[in-house]
Each structure stands twice: as C-alpha cells, then as structure tokens.
C-alpha cells in the first residue's frame, strides 16, 4: 500500500523551490564574479553590458518556448530537460577565454533558464486551489532571492579558494543534482501515488473564474495576444522586471564602481536586498488571500490592491543613487527588493486566475517575453549610459515604473465572473 503524504502539494512546490535556487545560482554567478572575470579577461563595462544583454535577449525568447514545452511534454520532462541544460551551460562559462564566449554562454543560459516562471505557475495551477496559488507562487519564487543570497558567498568563496572557473563548475553540479532529484520525485497530481483523495478534492475546490472549458479548442498564440487580460498582466511586468535585472546583474558592479566596495564587502552586503525580497515573496500571496477572507475582495482585485501598495513602496528606490551613505543605499535597495517581489508575485500568479490551467505555461511564458523586453531595453540602455551619466537616473526610473504598471493592471484586466467548484478534482494533463 502506497503511503499518502499529508500536504503533498507543499512538498512539490518545495521541490520546485530547490530548482529555482539552482536556477538563480547559475544566473547570478557571473554578476558576483564580474569584477574578477572582467579583470582576467580584459572586459570593459560596455562589453559587460552586451554580455548581460545576451541573456536578456534570449530569456524572453526562451520564456514562451519553454512555456509551450511545459504545456506539451509536462512539467516532469520539461524541467528535467531545462535543468540539465542550464547546468551544463553554467559549467561551460568556465571555459570562456573572452567576452564573446561569455556572450554566447549567457545567451544560451537565458534561453533555458526562462523555464522556471511558466513551469512554476503551471505547477501552482495544477497543485493548488485558486486562493492558494499566490502563496504557492511566492514559495517557489523564494528560490529566486535565495539563490541570489547564496550566490555572493558561494561564488566569492570559490574564487578565493579555487578560481573563478571552479565557481561555475560548482554551481552547475548543484543544478545537475537537482535535475536528478526532480526526475525521481515529481509526478502530476492525477498520477502521484502519495496524493490523498482528500487533498485531491481540496486542490480542485474553491473559487474559479468562468474560463474557457477544457472541451473548447485550445486558443492559438494570436488569440492569446488579442486578449486584453494578457496585456493587463504582461505590461506591468514590462515595467517591473528591470528592477530585478538591476539587483541581479548590476548591483554588485554598482557597489564596486560607485560605492567602492571590494569583493569581500560585496559578499557581505549584496545578499541583503534578496533577504528583503524573500520577505516580499511571502507577503503578496497571503495578503491578497487575507483581503478575500476579511473583506470578500475578489481574488483578482485583491492582487491588484497588493500590487499598487508595493508600487508605492518602490518609489524609495529612486533615492539609491542620491543618498551619500552606503548603508542608506543598501537599505533602499532592500526596500526595492521587498516591494518588487511583493508585486511581482501577485501579477505573475494572475495568469492562473485569468486563464485555464492548460494555457498557463504558454500565457506566463508570453508575459515573460514582454517582461524580458523591458529588462533588455533597460539593461542595454544602462550599459551604454553608466560610463557617461552614472547610475542615478536609472534608479529614478526604477522608482516610478511600477506606478505605470499599477495603472495598466487596473485599466486593462477584466476578470470573468467567479464560480464555485467545491468538489472538483484537479484536471488531468500530460
């Protein structure tokens, strides 16, 4: 008799969180190692901008492709393919002999690492009822900031004790270990032997919006792009994602160039905004759920309220380049990390509230494409202007961008009427 695991859905999202950590370790490794790598390979600031830009070009391209892959082959095989790929590509960074090699490696990494958001939201859509999906998204997104927290000490330790090449090898090996763990432990809820009948019924219950039936033909990409709800969640991400790109790719270099931090000082402080971001991950979902319980606020409206509150907090990040105290600059970066993850989780999880489960991977991937275009545009502009006008104007832009996103979220999204499915079971998918 197979043992049933209580709260199995949380174990599954925890397994996904571990994968997100390895994903972000690989993604953050170059930014932490940048001062050392740039010195060893004689790479300038503008060339570094092109290297990070390669990731940001391929990431939005990879998001809909990997989202479609997840919808076609399922999460188990989809994440196995992507996890093994990003691990080997991360290792290959250590063999680069110049900026062109890193440019190619970062582009390939962006293509496959884009899988974690569409795949994660697909998992949340199938493993959680509607009122828990925001919290589930927050949990697996803990891996983004946790990976970014672990990257500075891990990469710095690897460089100081071994070499910058060894740092990429270690991170890649961790990704391969998780990929094997995922293959062994993950199953779709309709086929997982450890899922109890009671939890299966609970997952399928609760409030759902009146979405397209599973018997309807699956919409084309053009149909999704014509849906105003898609643009209602995609455009706020266009304005929000440059904040995360700045924290992950540019913050260590900013602390080094503008604040005079050495590698040790970066390792001691660069993780703090990601701790704050972890807190933000755990605020957005529960706060919107609390609004539903306390005031009977519709799920989508609750998430829009949370997004707007976090967008107001984001204004503080505009002062990062103005304040004279390095400690105050770190504090404002922490505030930005907290606010960004709070609003990011709410808008990302809305794809599962506004679209049928079988479309979530594709919709989330397409929204990530739009977000990636915003990130790429901002990063490429930043790489060209930093040496000419400094960092200050960019932090001001980051501080006000999410207010535009909040306006679009309220004006474009039109949720369908809510219905109750108290005894539904999770839908079956490949």
pLDDT of residue 430: 35
3-class DSSP assignment, residue 321: coil
Structural domain 8-191+223-412, CATH architecture = Up-down Bundle (1.20)
Residue-wise pLDDT for 263-313, tens only, equals: 788 888 988 998 898 899 888 888 988 998 899 888 899 999 999 999 999
pLDDT of residue 325: 92
Q: Residue by residue, what is the 3-state secondary structure of 247-303?
A: HHHHHHHHHHHCCCCCHHHHHHHCCHHHHHHHHHHHHHHHHHHHHHHHHCCCHHHHH
Cα-Cα-Cα-Cα dihedral sign, residues 400, 368, 408, 360: negative
pLDDT of residue 217: 66
Nearest CA-CA partner of 332 in 392, 260, 385: 392
pLDDT of residue 67: 83
Q: Which residues of the chain have pLDDT under 70?
A: 1-2, 205-217, 383, 416-430
Question: Residue for token digits 């690989």?
Answer: 26
Is-contact 284 138, C-beta < 8 A? yes
pTM metric for this prediction: 0.74
What is the total residue count of the chain? Answer: 430
pLDDT of residue 215: 56
Nearest CA-CA partner of 64 in 202, 224, 217: 224
pLDDT of residue 282: 86
């Amino acid at each position: 008799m197979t043992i049933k695991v209580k709260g199995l859905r949380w174990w599954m999202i925890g397994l996904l969180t571990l994968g997100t950590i390895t994903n972000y370790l690989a993604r953050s490794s170059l930014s932490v190692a940048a001062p050392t790598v740039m010195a060893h390979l004689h790479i300038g600031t503008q060339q570094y901008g092109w290297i990070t830009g390669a990731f940001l070009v391929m990431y939005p391209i990879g998001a809909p492709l990997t989202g479609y892959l997840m919808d076609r082959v399922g999460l188990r095989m989809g994440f196995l393919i992507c996890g093994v790929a990003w691990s080997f590509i991360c290792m290959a960074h250590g063999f680069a002999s110049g900026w062109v090699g890193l440019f190619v490696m970062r582009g390939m990494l962006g293509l496959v690492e884009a899988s974690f958001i569409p795949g994660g939201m697909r998992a949340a859509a199938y493993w959680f009822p509607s009122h828990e999906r925001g919290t589930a998204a927050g949990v697996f997104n803990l891996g983004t900031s946790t990976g970014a927290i672990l990257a500075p000490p891990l990469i710095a330790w690897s460089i100081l004790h071994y070499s910058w090449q060894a740092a990429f090898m270690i991170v890649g090996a961790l990704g391969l270990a998780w990929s094997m763990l995922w293959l062994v432990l993950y199953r779709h809820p309709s086929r997982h032997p450890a899922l109890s009948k009671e939890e299966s019924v609970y997952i399928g219950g609760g409030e759902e919006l009146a979405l397209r039936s599973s018997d309807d033909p699956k919409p084309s990409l053009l149909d999704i792009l014509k849906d105003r709800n898609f643009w209602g969640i995609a455009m706020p991400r266009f304005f929000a994602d440059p904040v995360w790109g700045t924290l992950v790719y540019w913050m260590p270099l900013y602390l080094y160039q503008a604040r005079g931090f050495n590698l040790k000082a970066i390792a001691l402080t660069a993780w703090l905004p990601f701790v704050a971001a972890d807190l933000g991950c755990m605020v957005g979902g529960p706060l919107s759920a609390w609004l539903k319980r306390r005031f009977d606020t519709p799920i989508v409206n609750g998430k829009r309220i949370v997004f707007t509150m976090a967008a107001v907090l984001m204004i503080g990040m505009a002062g990062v380049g103005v304040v004279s105290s390095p400690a105050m600059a770190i504090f404002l970066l922490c505030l930005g990390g907290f606010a960004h993850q709070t609003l990011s989780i709410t808008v990302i999880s809305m794809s599962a509230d506004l679209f049928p489960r079988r479309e979530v991977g594709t919709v989330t991937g397409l929204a990530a494409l739009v977000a990636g275009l915003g990130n790429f545009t901002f990063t490429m502009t930043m790489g060209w202007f930093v040496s000419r006008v400094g960092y200050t104007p960019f932090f001001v832009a980051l501080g006000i961008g999410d207010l535009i996103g909040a306006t679009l979220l309220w004006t474009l999204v039109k949720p369908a009427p809510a219905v109750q499915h108290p005894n539904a079971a999770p839908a079956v998918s490949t």
